Each structure stands twice: as C-alpha cells, then as structure tokens.
A and B are shown apart, each in its own frame.
Chain A
Amino acid sequence: MEKKVKISASAYRVLLLLQKLNENDCDIEDINKFFLEDPYISRLFSKDVILKYINTLRTAGYDISKPCVASKHCYKLNNAPVEIEFSEAEIKTLALLKKYAQSLHQKRLLENYHSFLKKLKRYMPNEQKEKLENCCNDLEKNNTATFTKFDHYSNLIKKLEQYIAEKQRVEIKYRIPSEEAEKLALMELQCIKYEPNDVCIICYNIITNQVNSIKISQILDIKQLPVVSKISQILCPVIFKIKGKLAEVYRPYEDERLTPPDAKGHIAVTAYSNDIESLLKRLLRYEANCEVLYPKMARDKMINLIKTTINNYQ
C-alpha cells in the first residue's frame, strides 16, 4: 500500500494555480475546473478563496494581470516562475531567426515564430528581454539582400500560402526563360520551397499527373478555381541502389527511406520525390556508385540522361 505523505493542502492549491497560470491564462471558472479535476483537491472554491491564492502569488513577487475585457476576464502570469538565461550570441540568434522568418514572407512561419518568442520572453529576465528588443530593432534596419531578396514576391508568396491552406485548385500561367511559349497548367499546390536565390512552388499537375516545381519568378498569372482539390496524389517512389563506400556514409534526404545493407554492403533507397528530373540529376553525382532500379520510367529516364550527356562529347 502506498504510504500517504503529509502535505500542506492550501499551499498545494496555490502552487497548482501557479503551475496552471504558467501554462495558460485562466479565469475563475477555469481555476475551479483545475481544482475539481485534481485528484488531491477534487472540490470547488469560492471566488474569495481563489483571490486569496492569487494575492499570495502576487505577494511572492509574481506579476499577475488583473482580469479585464481585453484579457477575456482571465488572470495572466506575465513572467514565468523560473528564468532562462541566454548568452549574448543566443539573444542575437533569436532576433536573427525572427528576421529570417520575416524575410520568407509566410504568415504561418511568422505567426509560429512570434508565438514561440512571446512564450520564451516570459522566461527571460527583463534586461535580456530589452536586449532582444534592441537586437530586433537593429536588425529591422538591416536591408541586405539576404533579408530582402524575396520582398518582391511578398504578395505572391502570401497568396500561394493562402491557396495551399484553402486546398483549392489553381490555374497557373508561367514561362520558363529557356522556352519561348507560355505554359498554362491546372495545378494542386503542395508547398512553398525556398532555394538560396529562388522561391519555388511545388504543385501537382492534374493533366500530366506529375509533380512540378515552378519558380515563382516565372509565374505570370495565377487564378484560384472554385474546385476543391480532390485527388489525393500519392508520389510514385523511385528506388535506387547505392554501392561502395557511399553506401556506408549516405545521408538520406527527408523524403527518402533506407533499407539495411545487403551482404555486399549495398543499400536500397526509396525516394518519394516530387521532382524526378532533379532527383536523377542529383543521382548522376554519385557516378557508378548509384543505379536506379524502379520504376522502369525512372530507370529509362536515367539511361537516357546518361546517353544524352555522353552525346555532348561526341
């Protein structure tokens, strides 16, 4: 039988309240719900008692905002009960990450980073919060190409992000510089991909059943269609074999799965790639240490790619 330990019941309630306020803003009703659900309390308390507990926390030095309409009548613990100290370099990195999140122009990234930073600030000592604020302000003035190169596409990125979230088909008109004619395609948008100097949209072409990567600088026009994406497109895996020493040190990409090495030390890689052309070009780099096995279409494309490259030298 478990030994029953003696505790201070009222102190336990005050500390539980502190813990709950640290997790979320709470109103009297929420607080009573926690108390009722807690196996060591299991009862409700009057508003006066709860106010006494809040007052205890305030007396202990915790900054708890008064409930108001703006806070939805909730009590808010402005600083966490413990502090996290960051080095100067870490504070600068926190500010830098904010600047990078801004430079990518995606609402989702910025919102998530802001909410992370807001939570983190509760744990930071006041002087560190100030330093962070100063670093962010200093970086605001930094308009180097690293942070401004996608500014030109800001609206388009936001529009694409919205279309992705809304899961509706789109009609994209685009032009590849090496090809004269404009292209028009019905697409289902998947994700936005950033390259060092370009932003691409990865999309599924409904007509060709292929996944394309289109640089957004090549998009001439994009229209959202009143049709919800219906095709749950499954990427066709490409399986390739890696041999030799490369098999021992191969680092799989995010969309790749490895099999354990066979008796000869070879590994098979299954790549769920959304851009087979780019995948095959990458595999060329592995020279004779790599062989595309499946599907036949990818294997034939690889053979053709090697042959046409050899033809360049004949």
Chain B
Amino acid sequence: MQNQFQRSDYSELDNISLTALRIIYIFNMLLKSPCDDKEINQKLKEQIEDSRELSKDTICIYLHTLRLLGCAITRPTRTNNFKYVLLLHPFKFHITKKEMETLMELRKYVSSLCEWKTAVEIDDLFDTISAHLTPSTKKLFHSTQKSSLSREITSNTFFHDIKQLEKYCKQNKTLTLLYNSPESGEKNITLAAEKITMENGAFYIWGYNEDTETTMYLRLDRILDIKSVSLRKNKIKPKLFTVKYKLQGKSTCEVLSEEDFILEKKENEIIVESKVRNKFRFFQKILSYGNECTIIDPPELKEEITTKLKNMLRLYNDSGIEC
C-alpha cells in the first residue's frame, strides 16, 4: 500500500482531521489482514506518536463510518478469531461497457489467430480483473463476456492445468483421458499426446491413438480426467495419407495450412497436395469450400465425399418442406 501513514509534523494538526486519518489507517490495516481491537491499537500507536488508546466503542464508531461508506466488515466472533474482516470496499476498479467490449474484441481476435497460449493468458488476466471490479461492473463484465464470447471456450472451464498438458505433449507422453464424447458419452481414450491447438474458439489436444491407428483431436473442455500418464516416451510416427484436391474461384485466395502444399497454380485454379492426419477434419475443411473444391485423389476419398453429399441432398428431397 502506498498510504503508510506517518505523522511527523504536529504543526499540521489543525489542518487535518485526525479522526479521518485514524479511520483511513484502520481501513488500510484491514486491507492487509483481519485485525482485532488490540492489533488496531498497537498498529495505530506505531504510526501515530502519542496516540491514545482507542476504546472498543470508538473503534466501533470508526468501523460503522467505514460500513456506511460501503465497506463490509464482519463483527469479531469465534469463527473469525475475534477479528474484524474486511469483505468488501467501495474503492474497487470500474471499467465502462465500451472498454469491456474492446477487451472482448481483442480476445476474439487472438482466438481467430489460433494463439491458444495468449488466449489462456488473457482468460487468466480477465479473471484477475473481474475479481477487483465493483459488484455491478463485475456483473456487466460477465454478461459482456458471455454475449461477446458466446462461441469461445474459455480456459478457466478446464478441470486440468493446460500448461501441464502442454508438457505432456512436448514429452510425447501416452495419456489415458476420461473424455465426454458427443458421440458416445464418457469413455477412456488413450493417445500419444502431440500438441495443443485452438480452432473456432475451442482448445484441442492432438495425439495418436494406436488402437485405431489414427490421429485424434479432443476438445479440452470435454476432458473430465487424466486417468494415467505413461512414464515412457513415445516415438510413434503418426500415419498420414496424401490427398490431392483442386480449389477454384474465391477459395483460391484462402490461406492454406502448414500441411498443404501448392502443386500447380493457374489463373483461377490451384492444385493442392495435403498430408492428412485426421480424415474427419479434412472432410470438414473440403466441405466448407463448397463447390469451389474437388478432391482429385485418392479415389476412395472422392467416393466417400460424394456419398456424404448425396446423403445431404437426400435429406432435402425426403423432407418435402415447402417454404
């Protein structure tokens, strides 16, 4: 605290309110830690030379003054070791709605850059700031957070320490995770942890599953527990399959990922070769290009995507909805 009161100049006595000074000092004491009557008197004496002993009643009046101003101070009871505890004070931090919205916009922007570490740090910072806001501002802050970051999964919802998970990834540890799968409910999944990523506002852990011989990616907020961590280091080479696809039109301007390599570039068309680790994710990417993308190779993936598209079309033909 900056306001360590030291009164050395008694000539100023007429020009200050000594009672107010004592109360400010008691407030600062309570900010640091809970105190009882004895400690209050003792500390006041240390700060104010010739300070008279305050009676219980005077301390009571001083604390009432602070309470009237908006401080919540408990009464001394057995449960709090007969000390006064400052629970709330009116000097909390306040920020405007516009400032909150700017903070949320920046968090969203960081998320769009897939910078998960920065996103985690911002979430931690928001927690600290929120803890120091006035109750009404805190309420507004949380509602702004909820509405502006509706699609964002914030890292404070994870049961586990994300930095520990990152360590496991660096060491390629085999983890058995209790995962709440949207498809099949709670189940144990074992994978050789590879990396943590952020995509579409959610955090993921990537890893190779030996049983299914596939690279999986699991949403961190769906991991309920880390059941076991294997001590041995893994040197598993994940299975990749090569795919060739063609992009046309506006999609040629899309930024490709690090797994993609441009084989051929024409005026309105590019041929891309991609090393695919997860088929589901690959299909999602290809489908999101719409009719501006065609898989060229391998034939089985061409067939698979055609089946998917035909199933989608059947949905519209069968439902018979007339708008």
Partner of A284 from B16, B20, B202, B290 at Cβ < 8 Å: B290
> Do residues B302 and A313 form an inter-chain contact, with CB atoms below 8 A?
yes
> Do residues A119 and B95 form an inter-chain contact, with CB atoms below 8 A?
yes
How many residue pairs link A and B with beta carbons under 8 A? The number is 259
Q: How far is the CB of B312 from chain A (nearest CB, A)?
A: 5
CA distance A58 to B182 in the complex (A): 61
In the complex, chain A residues 75-98 whose Cβ is within 8 Å of any chain B Cβ = 79-84, 86-87, 89-90, 92-94, 96-97
CB of A45 within 8 Å of the partner chain: no
> Do residues B294 and A79 form an inter-chain contact, with CB atoms below 8 A?
no
Question: Per DSSP, are chain B's interface residues mostly helix, strand or loop, or mixed?
Answer: helix
> Do residues A284 and B249 form an inter-chain contact, with CB atoms below 8 A?
no
CB of A138 within 8 Å of the partner chain: no
> Do residues A7 and B109 form an inter-chain contact, with CB atoms below 8 A?
no
> Do residues A285 and B12 form an inter-chain contact, with CB atoms below 8 A?
no
> Do residues A196 and B113 form an inter-chain contact, with CB atoms below 8 A?
yes
CA distance A273 to B153 in the complex (A): 21
CB of B231 within 8 Å of the partner chain: no
Proximity string of chain A (270-309) to chain B, C-beta cutoff 8 Å, 1 when within and 0 when not: 0000000000111011011001011110010011011111
> Do residues A146 and B151 form an inter-chain contact, with CB atoms below 8 A?
no
Partner of A282 from B62, B109, B268, B288 at Cβ < 8 Å: B288
Q: Which residue of B lies closest to A120 (CB)?
A: B93
Task: Flag the segment in A26-34, A157-165, A224-232, A247-255 that touches B.
Answer: A247-255
> Do residues B253 and A177 form an inter-chain contact, with CB atoms below 8 A?
yes
CA distance A306 to B150 in the complex (A): 29
CA distance A311 to B309 in the complex (A): 10
CB of B160 within 8 Å of the partner chain: no
Count of chain B residues near A, Cβ 8 A:
97
CA distance A79 to B197 in the complex (A): 40
Partner of B291 from A19, A104, A108, A309 at Cβ < 8 Å: A309
Proximity string of chain A (234-260) to chain B, C-beta cutoff 8 Å, 1 when within and 0 when not: 000000000001101101111000000
Q: How far is the CB of A63 from chain B (nearest CB, A)?
A: 7
CB of A153 within 8 Å of the partner chain: no
CA distance A281 to B27 in the complex (A): 60
CA distance A311 to B305 in the complex (A): 12
Q: Which residue of B lies closest to A291 (CB)?
A: B315
Q: Which residue of A lies closest to B128 (CB)?
A: A90
Partner of B151 from A87, A115, A252 at Cβ < 8 Å: A252
CB of A182 within 8 Å of the partner chain: no
CA distance A285 to B105 in the complex (A): 26
CA distance A310 to B109 in the complex (A): 35
> Do residues B313 and A109 form an inter-chain contact, with CB atoms below 8 A?
no
CB of A35 within 8 Å of the partner chain: no
> Do residues B308 and A116 form an inter-chain contact, with CB atoms below 8 A?
no
Q: How far is the CB of B291 from chain A (nearest CB, A)?
A: 4
B24 neighbours in A (Cβ, 8 Å): 14-15, 18, 56-57, 60
B118 neighbours in A (Cβ, 8 Å): 93, 96
Q: Which residue of A lies closest to B316 (CB)?
A: A303
In the complex, chain A residues 1-40 whose Cβ is within 8 Å of any chain B Cβ = 5-8, 10-16, 18-19, 22-23, 40
A197 neighbours in B (Cβ, 8 Å): 255
Q: List 26 A-B contacts (CB under 8 A).
A: A5-B68, A8-B23, A8-B61, A10-B19, A15-B24, A15-B69, A22-B91, A56-B16, A56-B20, A59-B7, A81-B27, A89-B124, A112-B102, A120-B93, A245-B183, A252-B150, A254-B150, A254-B151, A280-B290, A281-B288, A288-B308, A293-B321, A295-B323, A303-B316, A306-B313, A312-B291
Given A15-B65, A55-B12, output 16 extra A-B contacts at Cβ < 8 Å: A10-B17, A52-B16, A53-B17, A59-B21, A81-B3, A81-B27, A101-B106, A115-B96, A116-B99, A119-B95, A194-B109, A196-B255, A254-B148, A284-B288, A291-B316, A299-B323
Which residues of A pack against B, CB within 8 Å? 5-8, 10-16, 18-19, 22-23, 40, 52-53, 55-57, 59-63, 79-84, 86-87, 89-90, 92-94, 96-97, 100-101, 104, 108-109, 112-113, 115-116, 119-120, 123, 125-126, 146, 176-178, 194-197, 215, 245-246, 248-249, 251-254, 280-282, 284-285, 287-288, 291, 293-296, 299, 302-303, 305-313
The 4 closest A-B pairs by CB, nearest first: A61-B3, A296-B323, A14-B20, A112-B102
